[in-house]
Amino acid sequence: MFTFLGNPEWQGVGALVAIVAIILSAVFELRRRRNRKLEASGSPIPKVAQSKLYDLSTDQGEIGYYRVLAESIRNARTVIYRSGRGFSEQANQSFVRDLIEAEDFALGNGVRIIRIQTSDRTPKDWADRYAALIEKYPNQISVYADFKDPLLVNIGLVDPDGKNPEIQMLFESASSAGRASYSVDAALSFDGQARFAQSLKRQFEEWTNRLRPLDADEVRELARAHLYFAYGSNMSLSQMRLRCPGATRVGRGILFKWKRNFAVRAPHMGAMAAAAGIEESGKDSDFVEGVVYDLTSEEKQRIDAIEEGGYKSVPVDFKLKNQHVSGFTHKALKLDYSPDLRPTDAYIETMIEGARTNGLDDVVKELQNKFGSGK
């Protein structure tokens, strides 16, 4: 019941907000007319739920909504359910502070908080503050993670078993290029809808039963960026989009005192197929050019799993945009310099496509001269 409200196709659509507002206006108008009849007949008038729609594109609407949300959290008596992406780096930090302080206050009053984090990247300040809450109230707050387009995203539910449950719903727009970014458009806050609150509570409980709670360190990990140095077929952005759809290309990287080889057996491409590898040479004159991506912790786990079997993840320092930075790359578990090993044409073409797209002209020439593909 009501699960359609979290469907990504609905979120961020201005028409949805307008439809919600129209429906609520119609409902309250019908109730107003019914109450007028009841008043005329002398019958008792039932309590009407309070609701408000906030335009978060305005400062007034944004300040008003987060003030109401913080107050709702502070006034909680038993339990709070929340799902959301967390705040972006561009968010007003006073909102972040006020909401977490409100949650700290509620937890101090014995309230339970169940939160489901639906974004795999959060600001460091938010992650640190939330991790501190877990360490301070380990038996009262449970944080889960679900990054796979969950239905109940951006929902707040306060005291669903009480006489006057409160519900908050946030509506947003999403970009579709690379890792999705979101902008909040509107929010709806209402109370007194006991049946709806019970439905949301059941869905939250069913949802968390399928998930594992995060510890404080795992919450902090949500804020960590992983710089990935790709030197083989993963230089191709189109291939990385298939493997890690949210991967963000940062730019060209240079790994000094290493050299590239094609001595990694790749039986999934053919009996005598080879893939690219790298090895330390220790020589100042040697270097490998590659493409650097910004990955979340989940994306790093995904690319490590794909390369598992032939490679292992290793930390490396490399040059990126005239700065020396730390990140990771994949090093072959075993090198095989058999003269019969050779990369397939398709593999080399993928590497050339990635190198050319990223302006690595010397790599393109090197591959074409050595293997004659991608011309």
- pLDDT tens digits, one per residue of 275-325: 999 999 989 999 999 999 999 888 898 999 999 999 999 999 999 999 999
CATH code: domain 226-370 is 3.10.490.10
How far is 101 from 191, CA to CA, in rounded Å?
A: 22
Q: What is the pLDDT of residue 30?
A: 54
Q: What is the pLDDT of residue 96?
A: 86
Q: Give kind and range of the element (H or E) at residue 349.
A: helix 345-357
Sites in the chain below the pLDDT cut of 50:
1-6, 8-14, 16, 45, 375
Q: What is the pLDDT of residue 4?
A: 41
Q: Do domains 3-221 and 226-370 have the same CATH topology?
A: no
The CA-to-CA distance between both ends of the chain, in Å, stands at 57
For 105, other C-beta atoms within 10 Å of its C-beta total 15
Q: What is the pLDDT of residue 235?
A: 98
CA angle 45, 49, 55 (to 5 degrees): 145
Domain 3-221 listed as CATH 3.40.640.10:
no
Q: How far is CA 117 from CA 13, 135, 145, 270, in A?
A: 22, 17, 5, 42
Where exactly are the structural domains of the chain? 3-221, 226-370
> Which two tokens mark 161?
């078993």
- pLDDT tens digits, one per residue of 52-110: 999 988 989 989 999 999 999 999 999 999 998 877 655 577 888 999 999 999 999 99
Query: Is this structure's pTM higher than 0.85?
Result: no
